[in-house]
């Protein structure tokens, strides 16, 4: 055992189950020890109170262009980053891939920054997450990859799911799909692996693509599955996995959340705040949904995202992700607005707002635009329209700064948009971020 300020650093045998009976302080403890186990200092250590909301946390949001679209041979998409402890300070590790058409992606790449995003290495392919030729024709690719640093094994787990292509386009009748991953460890990528789940409910499709996961202090990983039989609405469950630095294995799958509209529930993302787990979920009934859990496996009935006055947000099958500060909880999302009524699925602009953790509603007065509309808001055939920003990610980079990362995409003419980083600067230190 070791101590860090007032936090006792140890690894309990089964953190997810023990949190059912733990106090609020104990849950906060587990959240912070997951950072300490990763080698990140807890700064400042005393006086942490995750449930206290501060309405003036955001100092500014700056839009930064990481790669200029017209200068690239293809548009970069799915940029997602994690922080990795380094000898000279944390390193930003990002996965990304190109996009050439609707759900038609190139091989997964990676790049890194050692100066918190000011300069980057050139994107390099992840050998295990490229295209594989199939014996019966077509290709199997990988998409929707999210990297996470795993402190217990000092490795990076990059996981998405497989996807099938027929020639130069997305295969309209997808064969069975599942999560696939590769591990970066000791300076090299491991092989392509499948996350096995021998359950008939996932015989056709189960996935953890585009999702935020939670690294637990004992080395286990809490994530989610969206799954379902062919032609039926998908279900969501919390999933507890073990990971030894090479193999990810399912230990327990929690209770099911269901939805009978469209394809059901998609792309769930997790966070922790105020002693609870929270999940936000994409759906196809012009709503997004939120729910809470004490253990990450048994969830309260989901509720639609609403403003603090009770009005529901209108969304169109778009994902949402959490931006979590020690003093406040935020959601990043797309929604319908008079300014974007001719934008497909209202996938621009990209918004951010603070969440009331008691009511699970968005505080309307706190809404900010992370990335504004770029391009023409038009609906005439043949005109290029607006760059869409519906596939994004968030990262706590330092106590003073968090990021939203996204790739622009204009599907009407496959225009090469910019690869963007939104620097969210805080008025108060974020004690959940690396120093």
Residue 248 domain flag: yes
For 331-370, write each residue's pLDDT tens digit: 999 999 999 988 889 999 999 999 999 999 999 999 999 9
For 209-245, write each residue's pLDDT tens digit: 999 999 999 999 999 999 999 889 999 999 999 999 9
Decide the pairing of beta strands 155-165 and 303-304.
unpaired
For 78-133, write each residue's pLDDT tens digit: 999 999 999 999 999 999 999 988 888 999 999 999 999 999 999 999 999 999 99
Cβ-based neighbours of 414, under 8 Å, separated by 6 or more: 75, 100, 101
DSSP 212-272: --EE-TTS-EEEEEEEE-TTS-BEEEEEEEEE-SS-EEEEEEEEEE---STTBSEEEEEEE
In sequence order, the β-bridge partners of residue 109 are: 96, 125
For 118-141, write each residue's pLDDT tens digit: 999 999 999 999 999 998 888 999
Residue 387 domain flag: yes
Give pLDDT, residue 253. Answer: 98
Does residue 177 contact residue 205 with C-beta atoms inside 8 Å?
Answer: yes
Residue 345 domain flag: yes
Inform me whether the pLDDT recorded for 19 exceeds 70.
no
Inform me whether the pLDDT recorded for 12 exceeds 60.
no
The pTM for the full model equals: 0.88
Q: Is 422 helix (H, G, I), strand (E, B) or coil?
A: strand
Residue 435 domain flag: no
Inform me whether the pLDDT recorded for 168 exceeds 70.
yes
Residue 410 domain flag: yes
Give pLDDT, residue 380. Answer: 60
Expressed as residue numbers, the domain containing 323 is: 2-426
Give pLDDT, residue 381. Answer: 56
Cα separation, 269 vs 280, in Å, equals 5
Average pLDDT, the chain: 87
Say how many domains are in the chain. Answer: 1
CATH for 234? 2.120.10.10
């Amino acid at each position: 055992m070791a101590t860090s300020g007032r936090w006792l650093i140890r690894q309990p045998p089964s953190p997810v189950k023990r949190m059912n009976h733990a106090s609020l302080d104990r849950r906060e403890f587990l959240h912070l020890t997951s950072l300490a186990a990763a080698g990140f200092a807890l700064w400042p250590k005393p006086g942490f109170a995750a449930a206290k909301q501060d309405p003036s946390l955001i100092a500014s949001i700056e839009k930064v262009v990481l790669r200029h679209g017209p200068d690239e041979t293809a548009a970069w998409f799915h940029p997602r980053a994690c922080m990795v402890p380094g000898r000279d300070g944390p390193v930003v590790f990002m996965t990304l891939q190109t996009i050439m058409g609707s759900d038609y992606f190139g091989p997964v790449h990676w790049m890194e920054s050692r100066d918190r995003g000011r300069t980057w290495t050139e994107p390099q392919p992840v050998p295990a997450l490229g295209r594989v030729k199939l014996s019966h024709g077509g290709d199997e690719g990988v998409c929707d990859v999210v990297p996470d640093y795993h402190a217990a094994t000092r490795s990076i787990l990059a996981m998405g799911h497989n996807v099938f292509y027929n020639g130069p386009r997305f295969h309209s009748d997808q064969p069975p799909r599942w999560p696939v991953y590769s591990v970066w460890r000791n300076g090299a990528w491991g092989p392509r692996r499948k996350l096995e789940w021998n359950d008939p409910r996932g015989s056709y499709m189960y996935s953890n693509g585009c999702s935020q996961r939670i690294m637990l202090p004992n080395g286990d990983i809490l994530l989610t599955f969206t799954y379902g039989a062919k032609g039926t609405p998908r279900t969501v469950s919390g999933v507890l996995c073990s990971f030894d630095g090479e193999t990810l294995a399912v230990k327990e799958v929690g209770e099911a959340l269901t939805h009978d509209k469209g394809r059901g529930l998609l792309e769930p993302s997790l966070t922790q705040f105020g002693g609870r787990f929270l999940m936000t979920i994409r759906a196809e009934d012009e709503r997004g949904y939120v729910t809470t859990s004490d253990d990450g496996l048994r969830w309260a009935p989901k509720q639609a995202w609403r403003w603090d006055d009770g009005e529901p947000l209108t969304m169109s099958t778009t994902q949402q992700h959490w931006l979590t500060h020690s003093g406040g909880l935020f959601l990043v999302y797309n929604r319908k607005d008079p300014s974007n009524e001719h934008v497909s699925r209202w996938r621009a602009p990209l918004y951010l707002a603070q969440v009331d953790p008691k009511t699970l509603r968005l505080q309307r007065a706190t809404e900010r635009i992370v990335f504004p509309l770029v391009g023409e808001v038009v609906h005439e055939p043949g005109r290029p329209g607006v760059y869409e920003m519906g596939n994004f990610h968030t990262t706590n980079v330092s106590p003073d700064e968090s990021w939203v990362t996204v790739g622009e995409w204009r599907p009407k003419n496959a225009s090469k948009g910019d690869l963007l980083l939104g620097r969210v600067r805080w008025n108060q230190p974020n004690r959940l971020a690396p120093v």
